[in-house]
């Protein structure tokens, strides 16, 4: 039996509002393709006025569309679903290359894609060493200017930094000058790979190269990371072309 809708209460906190919005979207399924405010109120146990406000907000953002007095999932959910599926396809396509790099390097291998103004790590193969950089990167976002894979996506892809504002400093070696970063990205394009040494986290080094689709568009970055005492300048220079070779294109 569905819970009885509660009476209107004080405004929800941002955390509660997000949870309620997600619950509202999850109410749609193969059986409930269309739902009215009353239906959602009963399913969620929320007052109709609360549901109405949530639905209106989601409609404005494109997550719902309204036909008269009933709602359906909007095109923004289709876009996000397509992105999720393409990421799964990308991981499957790059899995052999990731495994090859992991065997050659013994270090942590990551696959990352653009996500807004950040970098989203979508797959990881852990290092063979006990002391490694593998800390559950999958699903985490990082600032592009401080990470090797981020520099690759800035240099070759469609990722762009905000036009204004300071670049965040994570360590004493983080590049926060836009002019210096522009020069470095030119070098990344010239040699085909990017490096980051203690820029995102002290003692963490990484090297990354672009992954291109059939049209020549950079869709991801393939990286190898580990502690700087194993990934010194010579190791990074050796691994850079190895990252670029399997990541050069997708069949």
CATH number, domain of 66, equals: 1.10.10.10
Is 250 within the bounds of a domain? no
- Tokens matching residue 1: 């039996």
Q: Which of 26, 56, 73 is the last residue of a domain?
A: 73
b/e per residue 153-179 (b: at least 16 CB within 10 A): bbbbbebebeeeeebeebeeebbeeee
Instruction: Let me know whether 146 and 93 are in one domain.
Output: yes
Tens of each residue's pLDDT in the chain, 251 residues: 455 555 555 556 777 889 999 999 999 987 888 999 999 999 999 999 999 999 999 999 999 999 888 999 988 887 777 666 667 788 888 899 999 999 999 999 999 999 888 998 888 998 876 555 556 677 788 999 999 999 999 999 888 888 888 899 999 999 999 999 999 999 999 999 999 999 999 999 999 999 998 888 999 999 999 999 999 999 999 999 999 886 555 54
- Distance (Å, whole) CA 25 – CA 21: 6
Could you give the number of structural domains in the chain?
A: 2
Is 5 within the bounds of a domain? no
Strand order in the sheet with 118-125: 141-142, 118-125, 108-115, 218-227, 204-212, 194-197
Instruction: Let me know whether 51 and 151 are in one domain.
Output: no
Instruction: Let me know whether 90 and 141 are in one domain.
Output: yes
pTM of the model: 0.68
- Distance (Å, whole) CA 207 – CA 226: 9
Is 58 within the bounds of a domain? yes
- The DSSP string of 101-130 is HHHHH-SEEEEEEEETTEEEEEEEE--SSS
User: In 3D, which of 156, 159, 118, 155 has the Cα closest to residue 140?
Assistant: 118
Instruction: Let me know whether 158 and 59 are in one domain.
Output: no
The residue written with tokens 């065997």 in the block is 103
- Distance (Å, whole) CA 128 – CA 130: 7
- Distance (Å, whole) CA 234 – CA 205: 12
């Amino acid at each position: 039996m569905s819970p009885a809708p509660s009476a209107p209460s004080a405004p929800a906190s941002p955390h509660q509002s997000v949870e309620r919005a997600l619950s509202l979207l999850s109410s749609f399924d193969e059986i409930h393709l269309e739902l009215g405010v009353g239906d959602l109120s009963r399913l969620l146990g929320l007052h109709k006025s609360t549901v109405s406000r949530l639905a209106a907000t989601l409609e404005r953002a494109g997550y719902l569309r309204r036909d008269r007095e009933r709602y359906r999932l909007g095109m923004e959910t289709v876009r996000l679903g397509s992105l999720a599926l393409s990421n799964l396809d990308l991981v499957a396509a790059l899995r052999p290359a990731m495994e090859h790099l992991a065997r050659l390097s013994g270090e942590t291998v990551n696959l990352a894609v653009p996500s807004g103004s950040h970098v989203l790590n979508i797959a990881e193969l852990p290092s063979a060493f006990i002391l490694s950089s593998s800390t559950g990167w999958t699903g985490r976002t990082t600032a592009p200017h401080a990470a090797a894979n981020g520099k690759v996506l800035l240099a070759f892809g469609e990722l762009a930094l905000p036009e204004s504002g300071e670049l965040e400093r994570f360590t004493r070696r983080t590049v926060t000058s836009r002019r210096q970063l522009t020069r470095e990205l030119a070098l990344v394009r010239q040699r085909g790979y990017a490096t980051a040494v203690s820029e995102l986290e002290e003692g963490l080094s990484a090297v990354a190269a672009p992954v291109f689709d059939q049209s020549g568009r950079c869709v991801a970055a393939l990286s190898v990371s580990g502690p700087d005492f194993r990934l010194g300048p010579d190791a990074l220079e050796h691994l850079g072309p190895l990252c670029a070779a399997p990541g050069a294109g997708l069949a």
